Every structure is written in structure tokens, then in C-alpha cells.
């Protein structure tokens, strides 16, 4: 897939600008704060229906404006696509593809897809479980629309249950609602677990293989961890559901006593071992970086294999965090599709990668 051009109006720091992209590598250079990351976020929005830093549409709209417009033209699955978004303060957004309205972000996301690689990803090994769940969620949501829908429903039910457990001490009248929330979190949680387990089954050997190519002689292993009553997380959600309900039942008293949600897929993790030791606790900085790179590159390959073409690859400031050996390791494995790399002016990334240079300065893009 390929994005040929994009137009931004009142999107973050961009007032009004249009730009064209190369089908290969695009190197986006500029001083700090000039809008390099904002440009990648616009591409990510086109591909996934959401920003990667923003928590709401409001943050994507230029401070001085009431609405923002992002439009892009490109090709995916051999079809020309024109994606348009209008974001509004305090109102629903409009989204369309080739002039046909999309009702949900998941519908929009079916057109382009993107793999984002940023410095925070380098923390995924040693950070908390939420970072590794986010990795699974972002990747599977793009590949499986049913997962994205289940994740949204799960989050709503989980937030409802958390609120209820927090407030039920002062307001016992809420307690009868708990059963409904339990059922909803288990029902959608079972779907998440099924997809996560099947995703990790593909991710683990691919990441291990790429890690092996790095030549350190070390072994990278990934294991999906979920609620311990689940006997086969790859099983259909209908088989997982009763096992989740059983776990909830045995944790109910503890949940009521602690006012916290203790049972469910919100505590899932991806265990990462290097040579049989938990990377989270024992890996050196170099080892965690190589492991994180291997996992991200495996994610890229899974996208490619699932879609039958390379997704858009977005590298935000990630190369400058790596030594030369690891930079080469990444650059040698990303050539197959369209790539967008941001870097500071003095990093000379374009000398090493070739490709089209786009200079971002004061909310304008010069190509
Ligand atoms: N909603 C917004 N409206 C206007 N400016 C914004 C908005 N969001 C971010 N910015 C501005 O964008 C700039 C940061 O852009 P960014 O793309 O992160 O820079 P960099 O080139 O360093 O990656 C900051 O100056 C910030 O104030
Ligand atoms: Mg940036």
C-alpha cells in the first residue's frame, strides 16, 4: 500500500498544507517542535482512525480552530483510495473513503494500515504489562475488526465495573448491577484472550527468528499470560467464557473487599524471556533494545503476511536512539514497503537510507 499525498488543515500545528510522498522511504527532517511527529500522527490517523499520542479528537485540532481536516490519497489492495476526516470540537467526526461515509473508526481502518515504531517501544520489555497489552491491542485491532470492536466493548464494561466497585461501599444500591458487568467483561474478555493467544502464537516464532538473525547467539521467547483458570487461550471464546466466570466467582469477595477489579483480561501480559530468563528483570539495555526491535519487525511481517502487502511503516525518532549496528539491523529489514522516518536535521539519516527528504519548518512542509 502507498500514500501518495496528504492535505492537512488546522491539524495540530499545521494551518494549511499539502504534501506528496515517495512510494519508498520518506525522511522527514526538521528542528524540534516543528511538526514531524504531528505529520506521522496524521498518517496514523488515516490508517487506524485514531492518533497515537492524542487521547481525543480535541487534541488533534489546532488550538485556534473549531475543526480539523485531514485528507489523503493512495492505493491499497490495488484500489485507489481517498480518505477524508473532519474532526470537530465537541461533536462527532465525519469520515469517508472515496466519498462513502464510514460509521466507525474500524471501518476507516480497513483501508490502510500502519505499524508505528517510536522510542517508547524500546521500553516495552522492561515497562509494565500495560505497554505489552498495548502492543497486542494496537496490532490485532488493525488486523481483526472484530477484535477492535470487542476491545471497545470490554473497556466500557471494565470501566463500568471499576466505577461500581469503587462506589458500592457508599452506595450499596449499585450492587445488583455487578452481575451484568461481570458477564460483559467475561464475554468480551474471552474474545480478547482468544485473539491475543492466536496472535502471540504467530508473533513468538517470527520475533525469535528475527532475533536469531541479529547474531548474538541468544534465544528470545514470548509467552502469552492470561487468567489462570483458562486452560486453552487459543480455544473459541465460547469455551473460554465459563472459565473466566469461574475465576470471577472465586475472586468476587476479594474484589468487593478491595474495591478493585481483580479478575479478567485487563491484567494480561506478554512474558518475554531471553535465554530462559525474564527479560523484564534481567536484560541489559542492549538486550532489551534488540528484543524490542525484533518484536516490532515481527509485527511488521505479520501485517505484511496477513494483508498480502506491506503496511505503512512509521519510525518516529527511533533511529537516533540506536547504535549503528542496530540501525543497520532495522534499515536492512524495512525496505519492502513505504516508510516514513522522522529525524533531526543533523542526524544524516537520509544519507544512509536514501529516499525523499521532506523538511518540516514552522508547520509547513517543503519537499
Ligand atoms: N492541537 C494543536 N494545535 C496547535 N499546535 C499544536 C497542537 N498539538 C501540538 N501542537 C504543537 O506542535 C508542536 C510539536 O510538534 P511535533 O510534531 O511533536 O514536533 P517534532 O518536530 O519535534 O516532532 C508543538 O509546538 C506543539 O505546541
Ligand atoms: Mg517528534
Rounded to whole angstroms, the Cα distance separating 331 from 293 reads 11
Tell me: pLDDT of 320 over 90: no
Instruction: Provide the CATH number for the domain around residue 5.
Output: 3.40.50.300
Residue 153: other Cβ atoms inside 10 A? 17
pLDDT tens-digit profile of 188-244?
999 999 999 999 999 999 999 999 999 889 999 999 999 999 999 999 999 999 999
Is the shortest distance between the CB of 36 and ligand 1 below 6 Å? yes
Ligand 1 mutation target, pool 12, 61, 361, most atoms within 8 A of CB? 12
pLDDT tens-digit profile of 53-63?
999 999 999 99
Same domain membership, residue 97 and residue 2: yes
Q: State residue 242's pLDDT score.
A: 98
pLDDT tens-digit profile of 252-264?
999 999 999 999 9
Provide the residue range defining the domain that includes 13.
1-113+311-367
Same domain membership, residue 121 and residue 63: no
3-class SS of residue 15: strand
Same domain membership, residue 103 and residue 188: no
Q: Whose CA is nearest to atom 2 of ligand 1?
A: 12
Q: In ligand 1, which atom is closest to the CA atom of 65? A: 3
Helix H or strand E segment including 257: helix 237-258
Is the shortest distance between the CB of 33 and ligand 1 below 6 Å? yes
Question: From the CA of 64, which ligand is nearest?
Answer: 1
**Number of domains the chain contains:** 2
Strand order in the sheet with 91-97: 14-20, 2-11, 67-76, 79-88, 91-97, 100-101
pLDDT tens-digit profile of 266-286?
999 999 999 999 999 999 999
Ligand 1 mutation target, pool 35, 67, 361, 365, most atoms within 8 A of CB? 35
Same domain membership, residue 315 and residue 179: no
Looking at 129-174, list the stretches that DSSP marks H as alpha helix, in order from N- to C-terminal side.
129-143, 145-167
Rounded to whole angstroms, the Cα distance separating 81 from 2 reads 10
Instruction: Provide the CATH number for the domain around residue 154.
Output: 1.20.1050.90
Rounded to whole angstroms, the Cα distance separating 138 from 295 reads 13
Cβ-contact 350, 27 below 8 angstroms: yes
Rounded to whole angstroms, the Cα distance separating 235 from 136 reads 18
Same domain membership, residue 174 and residue 292: yes
pLDDT tens-digit profile of 131-162?
999 999 999 998 998 999 999 999 999 999 99
Q: State residue 125's pLDDT score.
A: 94
* Ligand 2 midpoint to CA 36 (Å): 5
Amino acid at each position: 500500500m502507498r500514500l501518495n499525498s496528504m492535505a492537512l488543515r488546522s491539524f495540530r500545528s499545521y494551518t494549511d498544507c499539502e504534501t506528496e510522498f515517495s512510494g519508498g522511504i520518506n525522511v522527514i527532517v526538521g528542528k524540534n517542535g516543528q511538526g514531524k511527529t504531528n505529520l506521522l500522527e496524521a498518517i496514523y490517523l488515516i490508517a487506524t482512525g485514531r492518533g497515537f499520542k492524542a487521547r481525543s479528537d480535541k487534541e488533534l485540532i489546532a488550538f485556534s480552530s473549531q475543526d480539523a481536516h485531514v485528507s489523503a490519497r493512495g492505493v491499497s489492495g490495488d484500489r485507489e483510495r481517498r480518505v477524508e476526516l473532519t474532526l470537530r470540537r465537541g461533536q462527532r467526526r465525519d469520515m469517508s473513503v472515496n466519498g462513502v461515509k464510514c460509521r466507525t473508526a474500524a471501518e476507516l481502518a480497513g483501508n490502510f494500515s500502519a505499524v508505528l515504531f517510536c522510542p517508547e517501544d524500546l521500553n516495552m520489555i522492561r515497562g509494565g504489562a500495560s505497554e505489552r497489552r498495548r502492543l497486542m491491542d494496537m496490532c490485532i485491532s488493525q488486523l481483526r475488526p472484530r477484535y477492535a470492536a470487542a476491545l471497545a466493548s470490554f473497556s466500557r464494561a471494565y470501566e463500568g465495573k471499576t466505577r461500581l466497585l469503587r462506589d458500592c461501599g457508599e452506595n450499596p444500591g449499585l450492587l445488583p448491577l455487578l452481575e451484568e458487568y461481570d458477564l460483559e467483561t467475561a464475554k468480551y474478555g474471552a474474545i480478547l484472550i482468544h485473539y491475543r493467544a492466536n496472535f502471540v502464537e504467530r508473533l513468538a516464532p517470527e520475533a525469535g527468528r528475527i532475533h536469531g538473525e541479529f547474531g548474538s547467539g541468544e534465544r528470545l521467547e514470548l509467552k502469552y499470560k492470561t487468567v489462570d483458570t483458562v486452560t486453552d487461550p487459543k480455544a473459541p471464546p465460547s469455551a473460554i467464557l465459563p472459565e473466566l466466570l469461574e475465576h470471577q466467582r472465586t475472586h468476587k469477595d476479594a474484589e468487593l473487599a478491595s474495591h478493585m477489579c481483580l479478575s479478567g483480561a485487563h491484567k494480561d501480559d506478554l512474558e518475554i524471556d531471553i535465554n530462559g530468563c525474564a527479560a523484564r528483570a534481567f536484560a541489559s539495555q542492549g538486550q532489551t533494545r534488540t528484543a524490542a526491535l525484533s518484536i516490532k519487525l515481527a509485527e511488521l511481517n505479520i501485517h505484511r503476511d496477513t494483508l498480502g502487502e506491506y503496511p505503512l511503516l512509521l519510525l518516529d525518532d527511533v533511529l537516533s536512539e540506536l547504535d549503528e549496528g542496530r540501525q543497520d539491523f532495522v534499515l536492512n529489514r524495512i525496505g519492502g514497503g513505504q516508510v516514513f522516518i522522522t529525524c533531526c536535521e543533523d542526524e544524516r539519516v537520509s544519507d544512509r537510507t536514501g529516499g525523499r527528504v521532506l523538511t518540516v519548518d514552522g508547520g509547513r512542509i517543503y519537499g
